[in-house]
Amino acid sequence: MDAAGLPALLQAAAPLLAAAFTLWGSPVTWLEIVAFVLSLAMVAANMRVNPVAWPLAIAASVLYALLFAASRLYGEALLQLFFIAVAFWGWWQWLRGRGADGGALVVHRLAPRGRWVLAAGVLVAWPLAGFTLGRFTDSDVPFADALATVASVAGQVLLGRKVIENWLVWLAVNVFSVGLFAWKALWLTTLLYALFAVLSVAGWMAWRARLDVTRRPG
């Protein structure tokens, strides 16, 4: 996100960032309401492995990038820009992607080696991202912001490849993010991520049932 052009962008988005109502003493913006609805629709589509989830993700990410930038959650704002790029990739993967066997991409598990690589990648990238946010932005929660950002990147890549463990990563991210957004008094987004945590469990169960069907002989 271009730091020089950010104030002008936020000023242009001021009507959307106006308060629609107050919740627990903090304003809830029109932008947050629309992003909330789009995000719930996106997760519902993800649970059904419906490719329409990806254009919904793009729309929601644009709105959340603006919301988080206005709240000085710059890691989360940049993450939304990453989500937009990955959403186009994920959309293509779900429509045209191929699995390791050359067949159509289906729900599958991550190999044990892949789990170690994923964990190591998150542990290495987290402090680097936290230091970067602390050094180059005015974020007041750089390392918390960085952890949510890095783990979300991992979850989004797994989701794009229809790896069932994406739901476990998202469960951890969503539970952590509830605390982060509550700290920032983004109450509607806090509620959204609490719902996301519940839906992560439901998504895991739905994909596990789908995985069991694909493994069933005959």
Question: How many structural domains are present in the chain?
Answer: 1
Instruction: Convert the pLDDT of each residue in 127-178 to its tens digit.
Output: 999 999 898 888 888 999 899 989 999 999 999 999 999 999 999 999 999 9
20, amino acid identity: A
Instruction: Convert the pLDDT of each residue in 9-23 to its tens digit.
Output: 677 777 777 888 887
pLDDT at 68: 86
pTM, entire model: 0.82
In a domain, 1, yes or no: no
- The range of the structural domain enclosing residue 38 comes to 6-215
